[in-house]
Amino acid sequence: MPGYRAFVSRLLRATGALVVVGALLLTPGVAAAATPTPAPGSTGATAVSTSEQRIDVRSGPGHTDTISLDTTLYLPATTPAPAVLVAHGFGGSKRSVDADARELAARGYVALAWSARGFGASGGQIALDSPDYEVADAQQLVDWLAQRPEVQQDGPGDPRVGVTGASYGGGLSLLLAGYDPRIDATAPVITWNDLTQALFPNAAATGPLPEDTPARGAFAGDGVFKRAWAGTLFSVGSAGPDGAAGSDGAAGSDGTAGSDGTVGAGGSAGAAASDGTATPSGALPATRLPLTCGRFTAEVCAAYTDAATTGTLSPATEALLRRSSPVSVTDRITAPTLLVQGEQDTLFGLDQADANARQIAANGTAVEVAWYAGGHDGGAPGQTVRDRVGDWFDTHLRGGGATAAEARDGFVYEVESGIRAGRTTATTRSVAAEAYPGLGGPAVTTQQLPLAGEPQVVTNPPGGNPAAITSLPGLGGALGGLGGRLSAFTAVLPGQSASFAAEPAGAQVDVAGAPRVTLEIARVPGQPAPAEAVLFGKTFEVDPTGNRTLLGSAVAPVRVAVPSDGSPARVTVTLPGVVAPIEAGNHLEVAFGTTDQAYAATTEPAVWRVGLAQGTDLAVPVVPGRASTPNTVPVWPLVGIAIVLAAALAAWLVARVLRRRREVTPAGVADAPPLEITGLAKTYKGGFSAVKEVSFTVQRGMVLGLLGPNGAGKTTVLRMLMGLIAPTAGTIRAFGEPVGPGAPVLARIGAFVEGPGFLPHLSGADNLRLYWAATGRPTAEAHLEEALEIAGLGESVHRRVGTYSQGMRQRLAIAQAMLGLPELLVLDEPTNGLDPPQIHAMRELLRRYAEGGRTVLVSSHLLAEVEQTCSHVVVMHHGKVVATGTVDEIIAGGGAASFAVDAPDKAVEVLGALAGVRDVAAEGSTVHAELNGTPRASAVQALVEAGVSVESAGPRRRLEDAFLQLVGEDTAP
């Protein structure tokens, strides 16, 4: 599985990287002796010098394990200065956080990055942030900083020092702060509170929760093993004795890929045996660990082996995981702590940050919390969050930041709007509150949504197979690239799931936390059932068309003991903590299934009756706060396996639907126009109206151009036309049939909207064949040769698409849209990337296509091309239609005319004397005039009667002139 490990490692790398910013602290009593430091961001604070260090540490019980850590010290331009330890994520190395450490140093900090034991070029074995090993190693790094003259000191052996890191590094940050009181501030990112809860969700009884708890679990159980994530992480640390990954800096959960792209936990320094003797480079102590353990310690290997083979949490494994968890030390953390957690995270959910916040704040320690629209499944924090981390260090390491601290809100979370800014960025808005709920902030407002649904019988198949698919490690909601929509198809399997729906929301509801619902689970007489039921709860948002989105792409497992006497077990289930704006008109649906491939559920066949407890509602948490200015957060880009999985599943779904409908696809209404759009509107979450009351009709034989400046709503109209998004209001009919997701009439429409998407490892021809095969229609109907001729790629059509230029991809995408010779062809910016000869050829192609009785709808910003190609035009501005008609009608709309005459001066005099005519001017032998309502024929007659010979008369304007008049001179198309 090295290829899969490499892929997952690259995914995790994207989520773990945190650029931490800060500034120099001059503490009272030391400031007078310290060299003045330039302000952060000034020229004097940008020079950074580095030095490589090998630091020997003694760790383990009795400090008998001596290893060498590979470190890099980053020095600012001016010292002494406070220091920050920068820890990397699982599978990474010091190279993973090089950019982070450099930015810290550029801001005036001494930064120390190191490869944790078992990773990169450091020695030792991976002990999973053990207090005896990784934490002890980090304490000795603090000792080392206390001896450096470049580091500002609070006292003998006590440097001014903070610590930060993501995921594995975040856990180390909190554990170090708990074990070492010299830590002055910490900023852990997307990390855990309790590994038993993170890897065995609901493994311990938590008891009733206060009303101001937005994200924690609330029911007891023995836990359900999160085997997919655990297996993925174990494989990253299980590189074989061949040293697959070494000192080049292996890729990891927050790191950069090594120069050879290999992945693993090996390192050139090799591991150290428990007696302190070093093993050969990249090797393991064969007499102590089996090859399946990679570079893990024997204790960690035994714990994973036990969990993976039994699916249960043994006392020994629980003890090991608890010692490697911040929960074991949160009661003694006194360093001010900023907790940054991701809202798209199936590894460490919002509940983990919630528990850390409450436990640390109970000591009287300053705590702030930030949730952002990313995580292990969604990407790294954006600039707003990174600035917040910088502010935190400014306040607690640099000093003198009281004003900034007072102005900063104690809790912020990000809400995605569902709108894309470009094609790779999701827009968000931030909601801020004075403090985290329960820590001095607002109490959580709980909205009670009545649920409907009778008790339902669900089955657990023998072996637990087939199992529902909700997420893959590191992919989460990006499964299929549809933000949870594709996973919604596989998250609820027939016969395995019970669903209950709430009423549509009358106004937008911003869910911020973990919804709760109370269930009753009972045995079905005469059917098999073990002593316990294992169910997986999930929350969907459902739009009026029935499209469902699995919120957070996350599930909440619950293990419930069910009485054998037939009485039901009653349990309150806390669903996954999410941040999700529920659009007005949409509704929430909760479902409880018996399987999920990401977990080790029961394999015994079972039948259960699952129903709502009498009078139960869905309790939805809403955190009061104020919205701030919208910002943008990078959307995690789709990569190899996600695209392949999406294509395979989509192909199967489409083929299945079309096979059923192939023989019964309606021919449409006789003589109905190819496209009728009436009163179309689309309002996104947050109240943004992209399209407002759009109406127009496209007749057969037309080549219609859809024009408008950026943001006019053109692409939104096309996406609604193709059933990709649902309109808020209005109707779309094609050939007399309503258009919607999966509508049979879509088979008569070919489209190229929002850029080409191809499998890069396949040839152009193979991509077209695969696309057509996914439709389930006969190969003979594809007209593949005609499409390949349209592409005009020559022999290049047999090359891998990954080698294509943008223009070649564009031509292949248009050929794909024309497969099957659809009756209505919809193209969004078809000439992007084409050179002038190709644009001319495209123009002729579209004309011929329409002349054959078909219809073409083109959205474009190239006004000259629309003028030469299209017969009709619809102009949009600010989401509305501002003009429709033939190209000639639009051009002539203002009455501007040009006259070719033999006596231009005389013509200017004659035309200027006509009532209403203005702006008359000669340009050579041509006279231009704004007729302002005067018929052109009347103007010609006046010229002729005055003895002026008129050779031609026609509209003066071009389409560009008309467009600018309609939408404004300062608006670019």
DSSP collapsed to 3 states, 189-215: ECCCCCHHHHHCCCCCCCCCCCCCCCC
**Is the CATH number 3.40.50.1820 carried by domain 2-209+326-338?**
yes
How far is residue 153's CA from residue 383's CA, in Å, rounded to a whole number?
A: 31
450-504+517-622 CATH, one of 3.30.70.2860, 3.30.160.20, 2.60.120.260, 3.40.710.10: 2.60.120.260
Q: How far apart are CA 955 and CA 627, in angstroms?
A: 51
pLDDT band for position 490 (cuts 50, 70, 90)? low
Q: Which residue has the higher pLDDT, 483 or 474?
A: 474
The answer to whether residues 8 and 87 touch, using CB atoms and an 8 Å cutoff, is: no
pLDDT digits 0-9 by tens, 625-644: 776 544 443 433 334 434 44
What is the tens place of the pLDDT at every residue in 819-876? 888 899 888 888 776 777 777 777 777 887 887 778 999 887 666 677 778 888 888 8
Name the residue with higher pLDDT: 192 or 418: 192
Distance CA 251, CA 257 (A): 4
Compute the average pLDDT of residues 710-735.
86
At 288 the pLDDT is: 46
- Two tokens, residue 666: 């309606």
Q: pLDDT for 224-251, tens place per residue? A: 898 888 888 887 776 543 333 333 333 3
Query: What does the DSSP assignment read for 624-685?
Result: --EE---EEEEPPPP-HHHHHHHHHHHHHHHHHHHHHHTTT----STT--SEEEEEEEEE-T
Give the model's pLDDT for residue 208. 39
Q: What is the DSSP string of 529-595?
A: --SEEEEEEEEEEE-TT--EEEGGG--EEEEEE--TTSPPEEEEEEPPPEEEEE-TT-EEEEEEES-
Residue 663 has what pLDDT? Answer: 38
pTM (2 decimals)? 0.60
Per-residue confidence band for 668, with pLDDT thresholds at 50, 70 and 90: low
Q: Is 119 helix (H, G, I), strand (E, B) or coil?
A: coil
Domain 642-887 is found in CATH 3.50.50.60:
no
The strand pair at 532-542 and 556-561 is best described as antiparallel
- The pLDDT value recorded for residue 219 is 39
- Write the DSSP assignment of 1-56 as a string of letters: -HHHHHHHHHHHHHHH-----------TTTTTTSPP-PPTTSGGG---EEEEEEEE
- Looking at every residue in the chain, the average pLDDT score rounds to 77
Q: Quote the pLDDT of residue 568.
A: 93
CA of residue 128 relative to chain centroid, distance: 28
CATH class of the domain comprising 896-955: alpha beta
The kind and range of the H/E element at 114 are strand 110-114
597 vs 417, residue with greater confidence: 597
Q: Please give the residue that has the higher pLDDT: either 234 or 363.
A: 363
pLDDT of residue 43: 35
Supply the pLDDT for residue 363. 92
Residues in the chain: 973
- Which range scores top for mean pLDDT: 233-242, 729-738, 786-795? 729-738
Note the pLDDT tens digit of each residue in 700-718.
Answer: 888 988 888 777 888 889 8
- Whether 642-887 and 2-209+326-338 are alike in CATH topology: the answer is yes
**Residue boundaries of the structural domains of the chain:** 2-209+326-338, 450-504+517-622, 642-887, 896-955
Helical ranges in 344-401 per DSSP H? 350-361, 383-393
Higher-pLDDT residue of 430 and 34 is 430
